[in-house]
Amino acid sequence: MSYTDLCNEYKKSRELFFKTHDDATEFATTVFNGFRSYLGLGENEYDLIKLVPTLQLEPDEEEEYFSPIDEDISYTPHGAVKLADNGYWIFSILLRLHIDGNKNMQPAENIKFDISYKKVKDTIYFKYVQDNQDMQIQIGELESYLKKNVYPSMEKTIMEFYQSQVKFFLHDRSVERKIGLIA
């Protein structure tokens, strides 16, 4: 093998990397635009929903962490999509929720969906809840599958989280309060 052969292999490798990065970026853009539209948010509401990079943790780091993503930085889809160590392309959708939907009111809370993606031939493998198994979708069915299954499920995930918090706050603790009291 000659030096020129090595250079040619390097060139092929880079071309494949950028081709798959472009493909992953297109997927991220499709998911992001579709979810934004599903929520009824316009393109000009970039402060309420945006694409951001997913931070990867080292195996020895805690699983629960605060993501130091600067919320004021806007990332292009190419900038938000990164290649993970496991061979999946990863990105996050950051959604900022405000009281009564009024973005001038505080407090606000950020919800972040970490999404992983891989395409093998005509099949897409992805997930937005990292503990779940990959969803498998044929390329031609992507947008209809997202609209029918994924966006409603993402919305449901958020709703169930807040509903569980309300149940926790409203939980009758009168029995627990009596424990340890001397009558």
pLDDT one-digit tens code per residue, 47-91 = 889 999 987 666 555 554 445 566 678 899 999 999 988 889 999
> Greater confidence, 55 or 27?
27
Q: What is the pLDDT of residue 105?
A: 78
Backbone angles phi, psi at 173, to 5 degrees: -105, 20
How many domains are there within the chain?
1
Mind listing the pLDDT tens digit for each residue in 33-52? 999 999 999 988 888 899 99
pLDDT at 170 over 80: no
pTM over 0.75: yes
Q: Report yes or no on 183 lying in a domain.
A: no
**pLDDT number for residue 37:** 95
The answer to whether residue 110 is domain-embedded is: yes
> What is the average pLDDT value for the chain, to the nearest integer?
83
Q: Where are the alpha helices (DSSP H) in 39-171?
A: 77-80, 142-145, 151-170
**Hey, is 113 helix, strand or coil?**
strand
- pLDDT grade, residue 169 (50/70/90)? low
* CA dist., res. 118 & res. 126, Å (int): 6
